[in-house]
Chains A and B, each alone.
Chain A
Amino acid sequence: MNTYEPPIFELSAPGKIGANLPALDVPAAELPANLLRSDDLAAMPELSETEVMRHFTRISQRNYCIDTGMYPLGSCTMKYNPKIHEEAARYAGFAGAHPLQDEQLSQGALRLMYELQTLLGEISGFDAVSLQPAAGAQGEFTGVLVFRAYHLSRGDTERNEILVPDSAHGTNPATAAMVGMKVIEVQSGPRGNCNLEDLKSKLSPRTAGLMLTNPNTVGLFEQNVREVAELVHAAGGLMYGDGANFNAILGIVKPGAAGFDFMHYNLHKTFTTPHGGGGPGSGAVGCTAALAPFLPGPRVEQYMQDGKPAYRFFTPAQSIGRVKSFWGNFGMLVRAWTYIRTLGAAGLREVSETAVLNANYLRVKLQGTYPAAYNRTCMHECVLKGQLAEAPQARTLDIAKRLIDYGFHPPTVYFPLIVPEALMIEPTETESKQNLDAFVEAMLKIADEARADIEILHQAPTTAPVRRLDEVRAARQPVLKYDAAKFAQLREEGSARARELATPRT
């Protein structure tokens, strides 16, 4: 089936409309002539509702998604997105409530937020939670701002360095830089853990804090987490926990008890609010009582009204301020609340246990062919290397692309940066053994293919809607919006390429 769909602008014809709008029922007021737009919106397309539905449905079919297959993307926690979540977030009292309506008219929404603050705090071992940050990176930003505010409030004005392990996600150093901090990189040790000697040498009276992902990005639990925390605290710094990998430790360990002062939760990972093709997420944050006064506001508190619990907003005393409009990505909060209440304590622990079981199962099945970066029990993801014996020319990129032909989304590749040819595999707890076995079989077949004829991998994928893309052209001659002339040129080049391929090589 040909699934190609032209840009929506090429489907437009003058005079069509795709929305059924009311007639004007009041007298027309005079329009300020000097403020009107001059182009009469000529660049906007015109289509019927029928055409718009067909267009977006057709392009949707050019996507891979969780509901069609396994998505073993390391560090992304692409687990099943429950359908009750989608229904609940659309209840009229959630989806249609105005964020500034009176608190008296919003008690249900406020109660849900209050309960979610409490639930997240309990699961992670923190005293206070703010639901405002919109994504993990904004949670990190919030945390580093809170560290800064905490140190300044104590007259500790020289702390302008954030320590970041070399295995960290790119958002960690980017966040620290955005807050005006200097980024100091800490080396990993032989087990992918924090190198304590290197850490010691980099701690100083300028240390504001350390940003640590635990389990770390090579999928291992930081065994020395308490020693690391003691060292950082002894130097006067604070411990930031990147919660990207929280899915491994629900009911297994509470970061708040392990020496962390602050962490963000990726509700769109661990608590399975859908990724939406890139967002929205939610980067709620939790922290110790000492840091609570600096959290962004407003947060929600409970009070008694006429003998019954009621809920209202409050802003912490020394708050760093707002990090976004209103209260956070509320629709994601509804889904996260629903998830936690669906599973309860035993169900959450089962999530982490099964996620870790699945990852280790893949590790033992694959590490004989794809060398493990670290030969030991992993947490919710395992990091292998796309380095195949007897097929030295095989590359991780080619292995990933070939997986597409076998019906799998590729793992995260070339991350973490400290592992060469990294394949970071996170199956999550929701995959069946049947799927895990099929994935193993595909990976082993690909290794065989690499040994037999590397061209099979170089040509992959061949079954996807498109084949490998010319990313160099995309970057050197950027076409970032629809332009009829540029599209005509692209098509001309495309036809030339197709002709060239059709010509037999001599």
Chain B
Amino acid sequence: MSHYISITEAERAEMLAAIGVQGVTDLFADVPEALRFPELKLPPALSEIELRRELGAMSNQNANANSHSIFLGAGAYNHFVPSAVDQILRRSEFYTAYTPYQPEISQGTLQAIFEYQSLICAMTGMDVANASHYDGATALAEAAIMAVNSTRNRRTVLVAPSVNPQYRAVLRTYLQGTGIRVRGDENPHATLDEVLALADNTTAAVLVQSPDFFGTLHDLKPLVARAHAAGALLVAHFDPIALGLFQSPGEAGADLATAEGQPLGIGLNYGGPYLGMFACSEKLVRKLPGRLAGATLDVEGRLAYVLTLQAREQHIRRENATSNICTNQGLMALAAAVHLSLLGRQGLRRVAELCYHRAHYAAAELGKLPGYRVEDRGAFFKEFVLHCPRPVAEINAALREHGIVGGYDVSQDYPDMPNAMLLCVTEMNSKAEIDVLVDELRAS
């Protein structure tokens, strides 16, 4: 009997007698006999001691933020996570609770969601934020669908080629059965102006990212004006860390705003679980996908929180729902709420400054190396493109020997950018670490 089972053999016999069957196998008479009790060819069960050894060995085979200096971003970021964040996530009360459908005994989760929504609104300047999506990519894809559902007879979305290539791939997957067209990134180097020039009376939304995939910051205000002039909505995908210093989607006038929330208190986790952040303007709230917590009162007049406006959701509206989303990334939204509360107004700004200034220091130093050149794509935040004298894979193989995870090989997605490395510098990369990177590249 496994150590998770709490029923003794004697109790089992007693229960079977109460049910009126001889043995537990009798309970499966409805399963066609020919299919019943197949052999499962699985490796033998392991004790906890053996599990730790096996898992420890697999873990030790992976480079990670403790073992290596990481200068890789491209959608997943090595940011500081205060110890307090995980201490909260480890509380059984949060992580072993279900979705708060019984609000009287779920006020902890509901208040956390409400505060998460509030913090996202405070930081983005948007009116409403939902309780989360799977990740930044799916948040952006669902924003495109929501934009189409919020406009009339407009079945095209424009996406800038500077939006993360994985996000654009997910967008196309999401839309493949809908008849909604995706345009704008046919030319991989089209500028935002060129993308906006395509907006017409069939355009439901324009999807832009700032800082974009290459780290470049954009002024979204004129883009919003142009999208609106064409009758389209503007969807802004942002980096929450950049909002410590730079223009928020709300002040730019964006209609919808999405982000990868992983930089807010969530580890790299080899790609997940992450956090899809999703916010919109007040007038679009009835089309919003996902869960929403709201404040209300109980029968005695106490302040309390509850899931609300559920008439948008699949368990009520079924095929007429705004989305099929059910399970989201609740615990990751809690991580973001705790993280934002710890950083607060000052901390958010200071982390953004550390990223900005260290990235600019790294770019300046790397740009001095013979054979290397930092591409001038305008103002940037924490990522920038470094043109190298050799293929990125070769350079990264050399860096690997020195405990450094180098930047992203841009040519994987932009074939006409050979030897281009997308480097990422955050508050985790000290000046000393940056200097080592510069020295290794000089030597290699």
B270 is contacted by which of A41, A109, A136 (Cβ under 8 Å)? Answer: A109
Is B105 within 8 A of A409, CB to CB? yes
Residues in B with CB closer than 8 Å to A468 are 104, 298-299
Q: How far is the CA of A209 from the CA of B87 in the complex (A)?
A: 45
B181, CB-defined interface residue at 8 Å: no
Is B272 within 8 A of A329, CB to CB? yes
Is B295 within 8 A of A474, CB to CB? yes
Among B8-16, B198-206, B436-444, the one that faces the other chain is B8-16
Among B64-72, B185-193, B224-232, the one that faces the other chain is B64-72
Is B64 within 8 A of A173, CB to CB? no
B376, CB-defined interface residue at 8 Å: no
| Chain A nearest Cβ from B199, distance in angstroms | 23
Is A473 within 8 A of B297, CB to CB? yes
B324 is contacted by which of A80, A137, A340, A377 (Cβ under 8 Å)? Answer: A137
Supposing A276-B330, A357-B27, A465-B107 touch, asked if A251 and B324 sit within 8 A by C-beta, the answer is no
Q: How far is the CA of A71 from the CA of B273 in the complex (A)?
A: 24
Q: What is the size category of the interface that chain B forms with chain A?
A: 35 or more
A45, CB-defined interface residue at 8 Å: yes
B59 is contacted by which of A94, A275, A467, A474 (Cβ under 8 Å)? Answer: A94
Among A197-205, A449-457, A481-489, the one that faces the other chain is A481-489
Most buried by B among A136, A321, A322, A363: A322
In B264-311, the 8 Å CB interface with A consists of 267-274, 285, 291-304, 306, 308-309, 311
Among A28-36, A231-239, A387-395, the one that faces the other chain is A28-36
Is A279 within 8 A of B129, CB to CB? no
Residues in A with CB closer than 8 Å to B113 are 277-278
Supposing A18-B84, A134-B135, A279-B328 touch, asked if A327 and B272 sit within 8 A by C-beta, the answer is yes
Among A284-292, A301-309, A330-338, the one that faces the other chain is A330-338
Residues in B with CB closer than 8 Å to A71 are 98
In B246-271, the 8 Å CB interface with A consists of 246-248, 251, 260, 267-271
B427 is contacted by which of A21, A35, A106 (Cβ under 8 Å)? Answer: A21
Is B295 within 8 A of A486, CB to CB? yes
Residues in B with CB closer than 8 Å to A275 are 95-99, 327, 330
Task: Please name the residue on chain A nearest to B98 by beta carbon.
Answer: A275
B82, CB-defined interface residue at 8 Å: yes
Q: How far is the CA of A491 from the CA of B302 in the complex (A)?
A: 8
Residues in B with CB closer than 8 Å to A317 are none
A438, CB-defined interface residue at 8 Å: no
Q: How far is the CA of A268 from the CA of B28 in the complex (A)?
A: 24
Q: How far is the CA of A396 from the CA of B400 in the complex (A)?
A: 61
In B33-72, the 8 Å CB interface with A consists of 35-46, 48, 51-52, 54-68, 70, 72
In A318-349, the 8 Å CB interface with B consists of 320-332, 334, 338, 340-349
A323 is contacted by which of B173, B341, B357 (Cβ under 8 Å)? Answer: B173
A101 is contacted by which of B5, B317, B405 (Cβ under 8 Å)? Answer: B405
Is A44 within 8 A of B122, CB to CB? yes
In A53-102, the 8 Å CB interface with B consists of 53, 55-57, 59-68, 71, 73, 76, 78-82, 84, 86-88, 90-102
A325 is contacted by which of B29, B137, B325, B332 (Cβ under 8 Å)? Answer: B137
Task: Please name the residue on chain B nearest to A405 by beta carbon.
Answer: B104
Residues in A with CB closer than 8 Å to B24 are 353-354, 356-357
Is A63 within 8 A of B244, CB to CB? no
Is B303 within 8 A of A491, CB to CB? yes
Residues in A with CB closer than 8 Å to B308 are 471, 474-475, 478, 480
B374, CB-defined interface residue at 8 Å: no
Task: Please name the residue on chain A nearest to B365 by beta carbon.
Answer: A26
Residues in A with CB closer than 8 Å to B272 are 99, 134, 280, 324-332
Q: How far is the CA of A26 from the CA of B177 in the complex (A)?
A: 50
Is B100 within 8 A of A479, CB to CB? no
Is B40 within 8 A of A16, CB to CB? no
In B124-162, the 8 Å CB interface with A consists of 125, 127-129, 131-132, 134-138, 145
Residues in B with CB closer than 8 Å to A342 are 2, 45-46, 48, 51
Q: How far is the CA of A468 from the CA of B268 in the complex (A)?
A: 40
Report how many A-B pairs have Cβ atoms within 8 Å.
Answer: 724
B19 is contacted by which of A221, A268, A364, A493 (Cβ under 8 Å)? Answer: A364
B237, CB-defined interface residue at 8 Å: no
| Chain B nearest Cβ from A460, distance in angstroms | 9
Residues in A with CB closer than 8 Å to B97 are 63-66, 275-277
Is B217 within 8 A of A18, CB to CB? no
B341 is contacted by which of A47, A331, A400 (Cβ under 8 Å)? Answer: A47
Is B115 within 8 A of A135, CB to CB? no
Q: How far is the CA of A343 from the CA of B315 in the complex (A)?
A: 33
Task: Please name the residue on chain A nearest to B294 by beta carbon.
Answer: A474
Q: How far is the CA of A29 from the CA of B56 in the complex (A)?
A: 42
Q: How far is the CA of A190 from the CA of B400 in the complex (A)?
A: 64
B385, CB-defined interface residue at 8 Å: no
Task: Please name the residue on chain B nearest to A415 by beta carbon.
Answer: B315
Is B63 within 8 A of A101, CB to CB? yes
Is A326 within 8 A of B166, CB to CB? yes
Most buried by A among B8, B244, B298: B298
Q: How far is the CA of A183 from the CA of B321 in the complex (A)?
A: 13
A479 is contacted by which of B37, B296, B317, B357 (Cβ under 8 Å)? Answer: B296
Against B, the Cβ 8 Å flags (1 = close, 0 = not) of A116-144 are 00010011010000000011111011001
A344 is contacted by which of B42, B75, B117, B356 (Cβ under 8 Å)? Answer: B42
Q: How far is the CA of A274 from the CA of B192 in the complex (A)?
A: 42
A401 is contacted by which of B12, B104, B114, B430 (Cβ under 8 Å)? Answer: B104
B169, CB-defined interface residue at 8 Å: yes
Is A37 within 8 A of B247, CB to CB? yes
List 21 A-B residue pairs with CB atoms under 8 Å apart, sorted by A's residue number. A17-B344, A35-B218, A45-B344, A56-B341, A64-B105, A64-B106, A65-B97, A68-B93, A98-B76, A99-B271, A177-B324, A180-B179, A274-B331, A275-B327, A278-B109, A278-B131, A326-B166, A357-B27, A404-B102, A464-B105, A467-B298
Q: 5 other contacts beyond A88-B59, A363-B19, with CB at 8 A cut-off?
A: A42-B345, A96-B66, A180-B178, A277-B112, A283-B327
